Structure 1
């Protein structure tokens, strides 16, 4: 193996740049030429490929987003698009590819591997919903962004004696809502993985009011419903007035935490090692502080389990 490439795909996450940097510098350290693919799989199909040097990834480890940019591509799901991508890589004599992204990115990498082109995947998503790793690149940063925002909102909630609904990202996975809710002492945490009774939510809020609480915080994952819908339901059924904050894409941006920088660097370096070892179709992750790898097919057929102990603790502490 003489040449490898790296791309970022799907939604951006803080730490992607640190992962790109690790792949490039570890590759060059091992005597490889490393190429960057711009605009994800769309750029791979349209041949937006450029050789990267040590200086190409200088001064990026602390930056959010991705210098390679990213895009979602429905076209890449087609076999002919995947074969064109492989042709573009082989025309440049590139021997392996590192893909940084989430579930959809892994599926694309798995398809390329099935067609004979070696790929390694790194879990880059703020949702923390990739099986085979305890944490995904960007989750810790997004979590801390949410916590900082809710801490500020709580000051206003207390001053005005209000109930605030904070909508956070997470269409299918509630990790951001769960961990942030536990971190800020939210009275209620609502996630897609668990059903809830509206009456129980209101009862908990009323109990807090009865014992003199000046405010309440409800953390709501977007996969449950929108904050506007939930607020309207509370008002219609229980005449409960609330205030809404939708954090939105602020959760994706910002300088990655030290944890995410180290995680991305370790995973990126290991991806290069796997390609040099002649391995392909692997997803790299971290479990119990150790770097591990799993087959794409094993990862893609599983569903990342909810951390039951954390969920139970959040319920016990929010009485």
Structure 2
């Protein structure tokens, strides 16, 4: 029997839902099955609003906010009779698999529906609504859930579809409000969504606490330890009253947080989870539980839905019982770490955190390589942690060249202490406030670099940067036997738009780059759509790694992606041109018909972006047009994305704790410990510290990237969802 799979969005809409619908529909069709959309959520299920979906029906869905197949509240589905009608409608359409994207209430209802399914079918047979043959044929219904919610309030997943888009809207609003707050020395109380989950408030709260302004973020479901509701007005009264007497304003962001085009991360997440959901439906057997698709750190995971629902309910019960430690534990390790990082890095005057004098360190902080969004967030968090613990943070300005050029007699040299007032406002700034440089110790002299380390008595080094920073760490580790000043713990936090540092699947700055590139591509695609018969070839940055091109292609629905890992040849170009001819021939004037090809800057030395566009134009024989576009350094972005900010904070704190663990160790002990020279990274479902001694063996030094790249599997997903034929 051909499997027919339905997709439905339910509950409150969230940015990214449309990406999941597109992924489910096209993966279903690619699998040789038939796809259906249940319009208007459970209301459409009960009232038979079910539409068969074809490939072109979901073209361009990723860039659209809300849900294009609709969602509606449905009191009827809460009653058994409503679920009975829903079951009949599915059987009438021959649907035996269902993917539902919604919040906890929607997914709880889905699991109830699945458990009742055998009984519902028996009732329908008894009432002669369906035949015995139909009951036998559809004896079990497999349901897979995708969590779509801006609140990020579901257990057993680090992120829900839409939460980072919503966080982006909050941060954008706070950036705007912050300038007014500083200008007038005002206090602002900002109410954000989140119901009974404080994720949005916590993530946004990594941002503002300064001297000229006070910004307090209140989740709409906030309460005190006695479970009494805390309203924005109550907070305003405290700030405006004695003794503070601050000029205070209230701003409620409301549904502004829910709308608009989804960010790059939500487009990627919804697409990858939609693909995995269809795989789960197709692999299901009678008796299997319902599953939902989650993400833990950087890994897409299939988990039992009922267990996650139970954990979500336990969280609410823990809050009701005033067991707040248990509630934080149930939110998962990532949330707990963010919460602890927030507490440490928002105020430096915390006597309880201070270490004894003999355990305090001189910690040097340096940025190496090209600028990347989130570098300043990492630096600020490292400084805040140092000050809270009693360490002395030394900023090395302008990389290793700045270090060796420094002279003590200059009052404002390239090496100086950082204080809280200086760094507090850095979290929302792009680039690098302490300056960054591509030169490595070998370029400026290992002896000179080591001599500066000795002169300044550095006890530890915190490096933020890309592949140049990785190479610098490798050089100093190799030179530690010859140069004793390098016998100190060193840790690298990868920060580069290219995401090409070994030891991690995610580099700070790559998300900011993807957001900038996706915005650029949306504009280009709109132009291509308006012209109907036009394709754009867009050049992406990324060095000799195709990560940026591939993940952007996943987010925008690129027709093809060219990467350095695969290269380009005439056969590939010929195949893609033929695919373009066929695609334009079947468009029939539909909307969202613009087509994009992404070309990574080093995919080929011969086939440049402009040449590819010219070849396509020549071979089109006037049937369609071709243009090229090069966004260049626009891709570095201006303001760091929320994900780059919050991950930079969390990872920087973990790096400081790692360096702190070496207090009291001698140079000889550190030299003998390969783990003293490490890279922090997100690998699969874990945050890990990789030893440089091991990582160097996993490095493709010639192409400046890891030997094994975890994202490569996504390249096939881009091709599959674009309908791109494969070269034999």
Q: TM-score range by the shorter chain?
A: 0.7 to 0.9
The C-alpha deviation readout for 1:154-182, integer Å capped at 9, x for no partner, is 00101111001111101110000001111
Q: Is the 8 A contact 1:132 1:293 kept in 2?
A: no
1:191 — aligned with what? none
Q: Is the 8 A contact 1:112 1:119 kept in 2?
A: no
2:559 — aligned with what? none
**Structure 1 residue runs without a partner (length 5+):** 188-207
1:313 — aligned with what? 341
Q: Is the 8 A contact 1:9 1:41 kept in 2?
A: yes
Kindly indicate whether residue 233 of structure 2 is the aligned counterpart of residue 228 of structure 1. yes
1:178 to 180, 183, 202: 202
The range that moved more, 284-293 or 235-244, is 235-244
Q: Is the 8 A contact 1:142 1:252 kept in 2?
A: yes
2:255 — aligned with what? 249
Superposition deviation, residue 241 in structure 1: 3.5
**Structure 2 residue runs without a partner (length 5+):** 118-140, 223-229, 313-329, 348-728
The C-alpha deviation readout for 1:187-245, integer Å capped at 9, x for no partner, is 3xxxxxxxxxxxxxxxxxxxx6xxxx211111111111332343235445655441111
2:305 & 2:260 partners in 1: Cα distance?
A: 29
2:170 to 125, 138, 146: 146
2:278 & 2:169 partners in 1: Cα distance?
A: 30
The C-alpha deviation readout for 1:262-316, integer Å capped at 9, x for no partner, is 1100100111111111255111111132221121210111035161221122122
2:309 to 293, 296, 300: 300
Q: Give the secondary-structure state (helix, strand or coil) at the position aligned to 1:19.
A: helix
Q: Give the secondary-structure state (helix, strand or coil) at the position aligned to 1:132.
A: coil
Q: Is the 8 A contact 2:46 2:76 kept in 1?
A: no
1:139 & 1:268 partners in 2: Cα distance?
A: 17
2:232 & 2:275 partners in 1: Cα distance?
A: 40
Aligned pairs for 1:23-102 (under 5 A) are 23-102=24-103
1:311 & 1:289 partners in 2: Cα distance?
A: 20
Q: Is the 8 A contact 1:82 1:111 kept in 2?
A: no
Give 1 or 2 for the bigger CA radius of gyration.
2
Structure 1 outlier segments of 4+, above 3 Å = 232-241
Q: 1:85 to 1:215 in 2, by over 3 A?
A: same
Q: Give the secondary-structure state (helix, strand or coil) at the position aligned to 1:4.
A: strand
Superposition deviation, residue 72 in structure 1: 2.0
Superposition deviation, residue 142 in structure 1: 0.7
Kindly indicate whether residue 282 of structure 2 is the aligned counterpart of residue 276 of structure 1. yes
2:54 & 2:43 partners in 1: Cα distance?
A: 23
2:297 — aligned with what? 288
2:219 & 2:296 partners in 1: Cα distance?
A: 25
2:242 & 2:340 partners in 1: Cα distance?
A: 28
For normalisation by structure 1, the TM-score amounts to 0.88
Q: Is the 8 A contact 1:171 1:222 kept in 2?
A: yes
The range that moved more, 231-240 or 117-126, is 231-240
Q: What count of residue pairs does the alignment treat as equivalent? A: 293
1:23 & 1:160 partners in 2: Cα distance?
A: 50
Give the structure, 1 or 2, with the largest relative contact order (CA under 8 Å, sep 6 or more). Answer: 1
Q: Give the secondary-structure state (helix, strand or coil) at the position aligned to 1:66.
A: coil
For normalisation by structure 2, the TM-score amounts to 0.39
2:680 — aligned with what? none
